[in-house]
Amino acid sequence: MASEYDAILLVSFGGPEQPDEVIPFMENVTRGRDIPRARLEEVGQHYFDFGGRSPINDQNRALQAAIGELLVAEGPDLPVYWGNRNWHPLLPATLAQMRDDGVTRALCLVTSAFSSYSGCRQYREDLAAARAQVEGAPELDKLRVYYNHPGFLEPQVDFIVDALFRLPADVRDHAEVAFTTHSIPRTMARHCDYEAQHYEACRIVMDLLAERAPLPDGGERPWQLVFNSRSGPGFVPWLEPDVNDHLADRHEQGAPGVVCVPIGFISDHMEVVYDLDVEAAGTAEQLGLPFARAASVGTDPRFVAMVRELVLERLEDAPRRALGTRGPNHDSCPVDCCFTPGQEARDVVAAAAPPQRR
């Protein structure tokens, strides 16, 4: 059955790799949203603070290589390509290369573990738009979201334990956990499973942490889901609390320390290294609140092995693993999945057939 697919496509957001790419990249990201140039330059400064280079492309290259090496070693021996929504290598160019290489049908891994418009449906729209631009482009199917897969969640426990041991010994046992993810507008959140999936993932991780590192008094370690990287006009409600507001609140309430876990991100890209390592860490330092940031999954071998499992699910009907009570997510999304009323309806890939009318 492996002949049904002849390649893997890693699909990501993209980012600038040198200073003169920062503003053009920001314009790509915000096209059609009427964002003032001054605001683009303000956000672009985050990239300039890191030499004008986003870490995300290097991280995608590392993940592409790790997946490819595992597939060569353990099968199925499929080539792994990579394309971005917003910066080079852009999806149309990657699809043209795949076509020229003889690829006819590929499975797509999106670098977002959770369902939302921006984290799932928009990628499916962009994949469909890229196919429309490339004559003879391969057919594309998207791998399911993996927020509750053990290969994504079990490494988080190790990362939290490591972060706890970077806190002062006298606060370690009672330090709290703040899981962070990208904020989205509340209107968008109402029409997807984003919050429910995150709370389930956090709950599972905390249950695993309690087994791995129980508290001396047998109690439960406090935790909360918080948000970062909000953008857009201030009058539009977004998911809260912001991580910086949360840190201030927990300090006021007497929390001895906080471990920040970027569960909404699979690698240490700009929303992690700036919003958490610079801004949130700076907030904690100003407050005098002990703070440590846990790692993201990146190329952890368990996460890379998860990608292979997701591929085998589609090729060989292998077991579909998931932790918790919600079970594995669907392969093909319902027609209205993550669609917010009022949005422009665009073609997507990997959509389930609409139900038959009687």
Average pLDDT over residues 328-355: 85
Assign 38 a pLDDT band (cuts: 50, 70, 90): confident
Short-list 139, 118, 147, CA closest to 314 = 139
Tokens of 207: 């249950």
> By percentage, how much of the chain surpasses pLDDT 90?
85
The span from the CA of 87 to the CA of 82, in Å, is: 12
SS (H, E, C) 182-246: ECCEHHHHCCCCHHHHHHHHHHHHHHHHHHHCCCCCCCCCCEEEEEECCCCCCCCCECCCEHHHH
Q: How do residues 93-120 score in pLDDT, each as one tens digit? A: 999 999 999 999 999 999 999 999 999 9
Neighbours of 346 (CB within 10 A): 13
C-alpha dihedral sign at 208, 211, 215, 218: positive
Q: How do residues 168-208 score in pLDDT, each as one tens digit? A: 999 999 999 999 999 999 999 999 999 999 999 999 999 99
- Average pLDDT score, the chain: 94
pLDDT at residue 345, rounded to an integer: 87
- 350, 164 Cβ separation under 8 angstroms: no
> Partners of 351 in the beta sheet?
333
- 91, 2 Cβ separation under 8 angstroms: no
The span from the CA of 243 to the CA of 274, in Å, is: 13
Q: Is domain 150-293 in CATH 3.40.50.1400, yes or no?
A: yes
Residue 41 has pLDDT above 90, yes or no: no
pLDDT at residue 56, rounded to an integer: 97
For the chain, what are the domain ranges?
2-147+300-316, 150-293
Among the CATH numbers 3.40.50.10860, 2.70.98.10, 3.40.50.1400, 2.40.37.10, which is that of 2-147+300-316? 3.40.50.1400
SS (H, E, C) 105-172: EEEEEECCCCCCHHHHHHHHHHHHHHHHHCCCCCEEEECCCCCCCHHHHHHHHHHHHHHHCCCCHHHH
DSSP H/E element including 93: helix 91-100
Do the first three CATH levels of 2-147+300-316 and 150-293 match, i.e. the same topology? yes
The span from the CA of 142 to the CA of 161, in Å, is: 33
Assign 298 a pLDDT band (cuts: 50, 70, 90): very high
Residue 293 has pLDDT above 70, yes or no: yes
Q: How do residues 216-271 score in pLDDT, each as one tens digit? A: 888 999 999 999 998 777 788 999 999 999 999 999 999 999 999 999 999 999 99
Tokens of 351: 């959509």
